């Protein structure tokens, strides 16, 4: 998708190979646009391609509109994006509760933050209630007037504001004009949406909010269910008001709640679900499993459902590869496993690393099947021999390596502040102890 041309039919590769010849005139055009606060209308015309998200492919609502913009528009946006991002980082303007489209942040860091907070609540003997918000067409419903006002409130000057006004106005998606929203597929769109919802956590003072772009969860921990429901109801009412004031739309059918706690704590409840009402006199649905940022969560954070779904997805793929093994050389089989199957196991492994051994063993069995496919070994071959032959680490060693890498990033300042807080540096002792040189984690 990133290499497809927009309505101008100019392939990005053409500009890349002619960069030395056109660099100066392109720079002149960009500087002129920034100086005058004007973007040519043709640069704001997009070719929209529908991309299927999930679910029934006959439903229009299950498609995401991706805007393919003219290549010159992307170059201009990249220049503005870099300056705008650096400005907000220098001003420390963006909320620390946003992990989307930011350096050193990822879906994995967001999952670590949320799951760690929930686990901390369990260790204190509390229940944790969470509301997972589902914005309806979030990127497509951003009000341009409100966005410009928020840019102004963040310190953007009048001349730059004029440029952004030109950016969001008179955009077209052939053959219809676009009157709201930020283009999905554009470079500036994600950052502008992040700025638009930056003040959402301000209405949730009694709970924690964490966002990855528009994937938003609100949660808090309390010793009992009535207290938990009271706080969540108050917070959700405030969120609904914020959504209405900002002219966004909440899909209450897909906005769900989830109750987390230890198994004994949940078993003591007569009705282990949350009751959170909406302004339309409805009640949010409570679920017992939920896919959040690519990982299935369950009430005990055992990650059993996640590992089960992971296995059920990968075993059929492995079976298809077995049926075609005669066409594949050992090198190709190894490459396919590394590039097509292993990323699914690797994703979020630092999050589910503390899952019960019974669940982790299922992944180990799957991993051993990968090894047997590559080497074409029988079931009598010991897994240690296969790993040695392939020069691969065991899954336990892989998770340990990834966790160690996470700690190293923390000490190097390459993790979000909300994770750095979990790994404070060691405080040197004033006494000359033999263990003084050790590092505390």
In the predicted model, is pLDDT for residue 184 greater than 80?
Answer: no
Residue ranges of E strands in 154-280 = 172-173, 176-177, 208-212, 215-222, 256-260
Q: pLDDT digits over 125-144, tens only?
A: 999 999 999 998 888 889 99
Q: CA 73, CA 77: separation in Å to the nearest integer?
A: 6
Would you state the pLDDT for residue 439? 38
Q: pLDDT digits over 318-327, tens only?
A: 999 999 998 9
Average pLDDT over residues 387-398: 96
Would you state the pLDDT for residue 179? 54
CB neighbours of residue 313 within 10 Å: 11
Would you state the pLDDT for residue 440? 36
Residues paired with 64 in a beta bridge: 51
CB distance 243 to 215 below 8 Å = no
Q: pLDDT digits over 39-90, tens only?
A: 988 888 877 777 877 777 777 767 777 777 888 888 999 999 999 999 999 9
Q: What is the mean pLDDT of the chain?
A: 89
Q: Which residues contact 139 (CB under 8 A, 6 or more apart)?
A: 181, 182, 183, 184, 189, 193, 214
What is the rounded end-to-end Cα distance, in angstroms, of the chain?
A: 43
Q: Return the H-helix or E-strand segment holding 86.
A: helix 71-91
Looking at the chain, the whole-number percentage of residues with pLDDT higher than 70 is: 90
Q: CA 262, CA 246: separation in Å to the nearest integer?
A: 38
Would you state the pLDDT for residue 170? 65
Average pLDDT over residues 12-41: 90
Q: What band does 1 get if pLDDT is binned at 50, 70 and 90?
A: very low
């Amino acid at each position: 998708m990133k290499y497809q041309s927009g309505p101008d039919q100019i392939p990005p590769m053409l500009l890349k190979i002619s960069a030395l010849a056109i660099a100066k005139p392109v720079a002149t055009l960009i500087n002129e646009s920034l100086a005058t606060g004007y973007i040519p209308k043709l640069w704001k015309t997009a070719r929209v391609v529908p991309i299927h998200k999930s679910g029934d492919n006959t439903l229009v609502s299950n498609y995401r509109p991706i805007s393919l913009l003219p290549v010159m528009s992307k170059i201009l946006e990249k220049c503005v994006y870099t300056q705008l991002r650096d400005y907000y980082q220098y001003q420390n303007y963006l909320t620390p509760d946003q992990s989307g489209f930011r350096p050193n942040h990822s879906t994995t860091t967001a999952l670590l933050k949320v799951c760690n907070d929930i686990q901390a609540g369990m260790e204190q003997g509390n229940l944790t209630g969470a509301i997972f918000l589902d914005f309806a067409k979030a990127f497509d419903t951003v009000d341009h007037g409100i966005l410009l006002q928020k840019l102004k409130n963040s310190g953007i000057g009048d001349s730059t504001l004029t440029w952004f006004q030109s950016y969001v106005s008179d955009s077209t998606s052939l053959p219809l004009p676009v009157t709201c929203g930020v283009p999905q597929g554009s470079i500036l769109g994600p950052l502008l949406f992040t700025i638009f919802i930056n003040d959402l956590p301000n209405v949730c003072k009694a709970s924690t909010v964490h966002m990855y772009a528009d994937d938003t969860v609100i949660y808090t921990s309390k010793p009992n269910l009535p207290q938990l429901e009271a706080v969540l109801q108050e917070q959700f009412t405030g969120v609904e008001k914020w959504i209405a004031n900002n002219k966004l739309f909440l899909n209450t059918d897909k906005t769900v709640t989830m109750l987390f706690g230890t198994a004994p704590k949940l078993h003591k409840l007569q009705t282990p679900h949350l009751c959170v009402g909406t302004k339309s006199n409805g009640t949010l649905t409570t679920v017992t499993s939920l896919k959040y940022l690519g990982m299935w969560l369950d009430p005990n954070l055992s990650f059993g459902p996640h590992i089960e779904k992971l296995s059920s997805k990968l075993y059929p793929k492995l079976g298809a590869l077995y049926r075609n093994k005669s066409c594949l050389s050992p090198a190709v089989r190894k490459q396919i496993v590394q590039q097509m199957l292993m990323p699914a196991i690797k994703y979020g492994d630092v999050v589910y690393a503390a899952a019960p051994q019974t669940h982790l063993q299922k992944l180990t069995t799957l991993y051993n099947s990968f090894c047997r496919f590559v080497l074409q070994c029988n079931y009598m071959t010991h897994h240690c021999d296969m790993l040695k032959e392939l020069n691969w680490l065991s899954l336990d060693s892989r998770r340990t390596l990834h966790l160690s890498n996470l700690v190293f990033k923390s000490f190097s300042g390459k993790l979000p502040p909300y994770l750095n807080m979990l790994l404070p540096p060691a405080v040197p002792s004033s006494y000359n102890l033999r263990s003084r040189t050790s590092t505390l984690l």
